């Protein structure tokens, strides 16, 4: 990261698929993706310091607060539920490969920075200043994707669709970034009010953009709307990546590689969020399934 708050950028060489049995070894030198530096491109109003403030119903507020409570859960490596979620994620990704341990070099093959995925959650909790999210929802999002849309999940994990380059974005950490950028785009942070008499109460943040307000309507219709939108965004991001031919193989000088990849990743993600916002603003959108990009998630080929 540069001194001006630029993105964390590392790169991953795409490896061969996981083999069968327990002799599964990830490629050395695999690292991670991006950490921060993307500004939200949401449609914003002019009230309340540049934002609209939307009124919400009690039932919508309950749905929103429930989601925000999920977002605020910090990944805890000593929590058995969190441990089991990681194991379940591995099993969903590589059902025929035994995970040796929760701290293992095997995780790098999925696109984590190192042998301990919890390090990525802590890193993003510190580096992504747009939200208080602690990371466990990132595991939940990935696991939801694997269980509900297994073909699309596998296609992205193994980079099966389109003309791929030798070097690709790391799958898992890309997923963590998508989680956090959706939180930012949809204004899903909990509000921390001024403490009164030593007591602090976290309250649900009301939407400050049309996109946030529209999403809240979708959330009130389907409590899994955020998880579904995450899956759609992941597929949309991969399509944008392919459309922009976003690899760094054309660059021969190492410094140029990192700088150019940083710019391309930023362009891909901003393009993805921009496309997603346009789709959320279409007329008569009543369900997540009505989003045009939903078809990317469910198509069979």
Q: Where are the domains of the chain?
A: 12-298
Q: How far apart are CA 166 and CA 143, in angstroms?
A: 26
What pTM does this model have? 0.73
Nearest to residue 73, comparing CAs of 159, 115, 134, 25?
134
Q: Is the dihedral of CA 229, 208, 121, 77 positive or negative?
A: negative
Name residues whose C-beta falls within 8 Å of residue 108's C-beta, 6 or more positions apart in sequence.
26, 27, 30, 114, 115
- pLDDT per residue, tens digit, the chain (301 aa), is 444 433 333 334 444 444 444 444 433 223 333 333 323 333 333 344 445 667 788 899 899 989 999 998 988 889 999 999 999 999 999 999 999 999 999 999 998 888 998 887 765 543 343 333 358 999 999 999 999 999 999 999 988 776 655 557 788 888 988 998 899 889 887 554 445 444 444 555 677 788 888 999 999 999 999 999 999 999 998 888 887 765 444 333 344 444 555 566 667 778 888 899 999 988 889 999 999 999 988 876 5
CB within 8 A of 236, min separation 6: which ones? 272, 275, 276, 293, 296
């Amino acid at each position: 990261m540069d001194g001006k708050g630029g993105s964390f950028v590392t790169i991953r060489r795409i490896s061969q698929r996981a083999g069968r049995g327990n002799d599964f070894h990830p490629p050395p030198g695999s690292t991670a993706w991006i950490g921060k530096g993307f500004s939200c491109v949401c449609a914003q109003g002019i009230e309340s310091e540049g934002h609209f403030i939307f009124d919400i119903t009690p039932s919508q507020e309950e749905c929103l607060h429930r989601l925000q409570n999920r977002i605020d859960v910090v990944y805890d490596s000593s929590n058995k539920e969190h441990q089991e979620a990681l194991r379940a994620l591995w099993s969903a990704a590589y059902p025929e490969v035994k995970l040796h341990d929760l701290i293992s070099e095997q995780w790098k093959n999925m696109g984590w920075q190192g042998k301990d995925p919890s390090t990525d959650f802590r890193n993003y909790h510190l580096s992504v200043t747009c939200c208080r999210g602690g990371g466990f929802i990132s595991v939940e999002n990935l696991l939801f994707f694997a269980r509900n849309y297994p073909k699309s999940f596998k296609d992205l994990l193994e980079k099966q669709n389109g003309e791929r380059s030798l070097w690709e974005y790391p799958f898992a950490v890309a997923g963590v970034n998508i989680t956090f950028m959706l939180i930012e785009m949809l204004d899903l942070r909990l509000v921390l009010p001024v403490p009164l008499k030593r007591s602090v109460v976290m309250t649900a943040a009301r939407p400050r953009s049309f996109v946030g307000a529209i999403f809240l309507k979708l959330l009130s219709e389907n409590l899994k709307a955020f998880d579904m939108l995450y899956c759609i965004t992941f597929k949309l991001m991969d399509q944008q990546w392919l459309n922009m031919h976003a690899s760094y193989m054309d660059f021969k000088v190492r410094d140029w590689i990192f700088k150019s990849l940083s710019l391309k990743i930023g362009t891909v993600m901003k393009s993805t969020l921009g496309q997603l916002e346009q789709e959320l603003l279409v007329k008569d959108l009543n369900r997540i399934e009505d989003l045009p990009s939903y078809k990317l998630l469910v198509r069979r080929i």
